[in-house]
Amino acid sequence: MAVVTDFIERKTSGFNDMHDLTADVAAAVQKSGLRDGTATVFAPGSTAGITTIEFEPGLKRDLPEFFEKLAPQNKTYHHDQTWHDGNGFSHVRAALLGPSLVVPFSDSQLLLGTWQQITLIDFDNRPRQRRIVVQIIGE
Amino acid sequence: MAVVTDFIERKTSGFNDMHDLTADVAAAVQKSGLRDGTATVFAPGSTAGITTIEFEPGLKRDLPEFFEKLAPQNKTYHHDQTWHDGNGFSHVRAALLGPSLVVPFSDSQLLLGTWQQITLIDFDNRPRQRRIVVQIIGE
Amino acid sequence: MAVVTDFIERKTSGFNDMHDLTADVAAAVQKSGLRDGTATVFAPGSTAGITTIEFEPGLKRDLPEFFEKLAPQNKTYHHDQTWHDGNGFSHVRAALLGPSLVVPFSDSQLLLGTWQQITLIDFDNRPRQRRIVVQIIGE
């Protein structure tokens, strides 16, 4: 058993910007040399989230539209009255989706469905440089 | 420390079909022979999710009604315009709920609340044969 | 590699009561003596959830208001018709947010963002004594 901590760097544009991390997470599992275990994908910061989705152009519009309706940008948030950074909506969306995803692997292969991609969503209201954690525990 | 990868098979009917997986996950923990660690429950595929809920008839109606209101079926999704499979709503719901749940166990017992059941929700718009991953890491 | 199971006790008041658990989880990691691994934070029970958020006064109002709008208290739930405990809304919110969060740590430090706090939200409709699980797996 061993723990390997790795990182994925991504420039993001915010406003529900979606990034497919699947190949990077799979590469981190390969690089770890571990055969069976879990890959924990974690977004440090409070305005981004991690989930899985079929990463295709239609859903890349549907999911942002869904979040825009769920926690609209053009609404007054108490957070903005405190900090005046205008990203209250980003924090609410990120807290709901959550920053962590745990994907099991076996024989060094992620046990994802064929049309299921590990996805970072950046909810912030400005470009960011994200450093996503991929921590692999296994044997 | 060891890693044990197991699977739970379920025939599902879609449209928010809920399945209580608690007994199966508990059995997988017992079978692993491990005493302390985590059970990662993971749904491969992009139209199902895993969470916990009190698995009783009232909530088995409330949660589906909630998801129907949140991401309605009878709305136009860009996903459907691409693929014409009519399950855009399923993808959005599944991405929001998330495919992974991690439950700690101690003395080979899942540390769940008394009224808290591990639950698969199939959001797809057709029957599926699901193969849920239960991966146990512990000692 | 080792597994350490710890607990955080909190008196909660319900109705989206939010508690910052970051210092307690960090202390549990320190106490474990482990350097690299994951901390699984898990809420036993079906009316509370765990996520991360910037724990500041504005968002401590925004997130509750968001959940109140998402799954309102003053709506009829089938759960309440069964049990007459009036907390159907609590169960729906908790199932959506989810009871588990996995945070990686390295050099005995949680890999959180600067403004990202591990947060318990109690959705129940009455005060509770919560015992949150923190299970640390690492080396």
pLDDT at residue B3, as a whole number:
98
Residues 6+ apart with CB under 8 A from A65: none
B83 pLDDT above the threshold of 80: no
pLDDT(B81) > 90:
no
Q: How far is residue B16's CA from residue B90's CA, in Å, rounded to a whole number?
A: 9
C2 touches chain A (CB under 8 A): no
- Which of the four pLDDT bands, split at 50, 70 and 90, describes residue B85? confident
pLDDT computed for residue A86 by the predictor = 94
Q: List the CATH number of the domain containing A124.
A: 2.60.120.460
Range list of H helices, C1-139: 22-32, 59-70, 78-83, 88-97
ipTM: 0.97
Q: Residue A115, by phi and psi: left (phi above 0), alpha (psi -120 to 50) or beta? A: alpha
* Out of C40, C46, C102, closest to residue B54 by CB: C46
Residue partners of C56: CB distance under 8 A and separation at least 6:
A79, A82, A83
Residue A82 has pLDDT above 80, yes or no: no
Number of separate domains in chain A: 1
- The answer to whether residue A6 neighbours chain C at the CB level (below 8 Å) is no
Interface membership of B66 toward C (CB under 8 Å): yes
Say how far apart CA B105 and CA C100 lie, in whole Å: 13
Q: Scanning every residue of chain C, which has its alpha carbon at the shortest distance from the alpha carbon of B61?
A: C78
Q: Residue A83 pLDDT more than 80?
A: no
Across chain B, mean pLDDT equals: 97
Q: Which amino acid is at A63?
A: L
Asked whether the beta carbons of residue B95 and residue A63 sit closer than 8 angstroms, the reply is yes
Show the tokens assigned to C67.
Answer: 């959940």
Tell me the residue length of chain A: 139
Q: Which chain C residue has its CA at the smallest distance from B35's CA?
A: C3
Nearest Cβ partner for B37 among C3, C44, C92: C3
Contact flag B119-C95 (C-beta cutoff 8 Å): yes
> Measuring CA to CA, how many Å separate A31 from each of A6, A128, C90, C138?
10, 27, 43, 19
pLDDT in tens, B21-50: 999 999 999 999 999 999 999 999 999 999
- The CA-based dihedral angle spanning residues C138, C121, B65, B13, taken in that order and rounded to the nearest 10 degrees: 10
* Chain A residues in contact with C59 (beta carbon < 8 A): 77-79, 88, 91-92, 95
Q: What is the pLDDT of residues B49-62, one digit of tens each?
A: 999 999 999 999 99
Using CA atoms, how far apart are residues A3 and C38, in angstroms rounded to an integer?
Answer: 9
User: A28 and A127 in contact (C-beta within 8 Å)?
Assistant: no
- Average pLDDT on C72-100 reads 94
- Rounded to 10 degrees, what is the CA torsion of C27, A4, C101, B125? 180
Q: Would you state the structure tokens that stand for residue C55, as one six-digit string?
A: 């724990």
Query: A76 in contact with C at a CB cutoff of 8 Å?
Result: no
Full domain range(s) for residue A51: 2-138
pLDDT value of position A32: 98
Q: Can you tell me the mean pLDDT for B113-129?
A: 98
- Substitution target in B96, B124, B128 with the highest count of A β-carbons within 10 Å is B96
Q: How confident is the model at residue A139 (pLDDT cuts 50, 70, 90)?
A: very high
Q: Are B67 and B119 contacting, i.e. CB atoms less than 8 angstroms apart?
A: no
Q: Which of the pair, A25 or A81, is modelled with greater confidence?
A: A25
Q: What is the mean pLDDT of residues B115-139?
A: 98
From the list A135, A136, A129, the residue with the least C-alpha distance to A13 is A129
> Helix (H, G, I), strand (E, B), or coil: what is residue C97?
helix
Q: Chains with ≥3 Cβ pairs under 8 A against A?
A: B, C
How far is B108 from B86, CA to CA, in rounded Å? 43
